[in-house]
Amino acid sequence: MADWRPSASLDNLRARAELLTSIRQFFDDRNVLEVETPLLARATATDVHIQSLQVSVEDRALAGISYLQTSPEFAMKRLLANGTGPIYQICKAFRDGEHSKRHNQEFTMLEWYRPAYSMAQLIDEVEQLVDVLLGIGVIQRLDYRELFLKFLQFDPHTISLDRLAAIAHEKMDLNSESLTRTDYLQLLLASCIEPMMPSNCFIYDFPVEQAALAKIEEDDQAQLVAKRFELYCSSMEIANGYFELTDATEQRSRLEADLEKRTELQLAQYPIDEKLIAALEHGIPDCAGVAVGVDRLLMLLTDSKDIDEVIAFPTTRT
């Protein structure tokens, strides 16, 4: 007989409802507007590490391939260009091929944008939200460079690819010789640094190769870095934020570079979101934005070890 029951307990379902209420209260108190954008779109993220779920649309006016959103980012930036001011959204997001104790193919995301905020100001606000929800208090902030210097004795912004590869192969059992700088750095971070980091911490100022949709600026050592941050709580990645890229030409260049890399890796090709480019050309304010995994917050709140414990019907039970 098919198992029809939810994988989450009733207590955890109640905790989810309370968590969502608390999130909405947090932003209501700060006059941040809640918005909704479509889950289904004609374009999607081009990042090589994110695979989209495709939907075949038969309607004659819209015929073709559409995609379930991996994030509401592109649509929310179009709203920012139209003058909404600060906005947030709680929504479903979808990523193909993701299932583990911390991943589900369909998950709940909180994303918000703060015009006129710096990255540091947004980090402050993320810290405030997490304290309200989890009672963590002050969260340590760690420079990406300093982490690698402390634990692996090299500067991740300047090390050569050959030297980086040699260190990675020395530290880990790798069976590939064709990894990128980003691949090596992410593997080293996960394997050699994350176990040594404080339980709760922000990491900021990433290498330029990991800029994604963040601006690139000089840091206090005159080194170009990506103005990006991540939050780890109980050694689990909870949030990913940017001081947002607003230049349309640079944005198109990065999307095209993603598609070239996807071709090299024989991954699905996705159309560039021309409406996002048009919104950037129109102009969006300087702003900082962040995406937060709501299911992972709930895991921490309920002391759950598997994401299935906090989702009524994970992919394996649909």
**Closest C-alpha to 95, from 295, 306, 304, 301:** 295
Fold (CATH) for 10-139+201-317: BirA Bifunctional Protein; domain 2 (3.30.930)
In this predicted structure, what is the pLDDT of residue 63?
64
pTM metric for this prediction: 0.94
pLDDT at 1 over 80: no
Residue the block writes with tokens 């990913």: 240
Q: Tens digits of per-residue pLDDT, 92-144?
A: 999 998 788 999 999 999 999 999 999 999 999 999 999 999 999 999 999 99
Task: Compute the distance between CA of residue 310 and CA of residue 230 in angstroms, rounded to an integer.
Answer: 22
**Closest C-alpha to 233, from 149, 138, 118, 163:** 138
Domain boundaries, the chain: 10-139+201-317, 142-199
Sign of the CA dihedral running 94, 95, 98, 102: negative
**Closest C-alpha to 242, from 76, 103, 100:** 76
Mean pLDDT, range 45-65, rounded to an integer = 84
Confidence band (pLDDT; 50, 70, 90) for 2? confident
pLDDT at 241 over 90: yes
**What residue type is 293 in one-letter code?**
G
* 1-to-4, 5, 164, 292, 318 alpha-carbon distances in Å: 9, 11, 52, 37, 14
Confidence band (pLDDT; 50, 70, 90) for 26? very high
Task: Compute the distance between CA of residue 171 and CA of residue 134 in angstroms, rounded to an integer.
Answer: 35
Picking from 9-23, 39-53, 55-69, which range would have the lowest pLDDT averaged per residue? 55-69
The tokens describing 124, both together, are 């402050």
**Closest C-alpha to 192, from 171, 176, 174:** 171
Q: Tens digits of per-residue pLDDT, 147-178?
A: 999 999 999 999 999 999 999 999 998 887 77
The pair phi, psi for residue 201, each rounded to 5°, is: -165, 155
Length of the chain: 318
The pair phi, psi for residue 57, each rounded to 5°, is: -105, 125
221's CB contacts (< 8 A; 6+ apart) are 145
Q: Crossing angle for the helix pair 248-264 and 274-282, nearest 10 degrees?
A: 160
In this predicted structure, what is the pLDDT of residue 181?
93
Looking at residue 194, what DSSP letter applies? G
Q: Tens digits of per-residue pLDDT, 270-285?
A: 999 999 999 999 999 9
In this predicted structure, what is the pLDDT of residue 178?
75
Confidence band (pLDDT; 50, 70, 90) for 57? confident
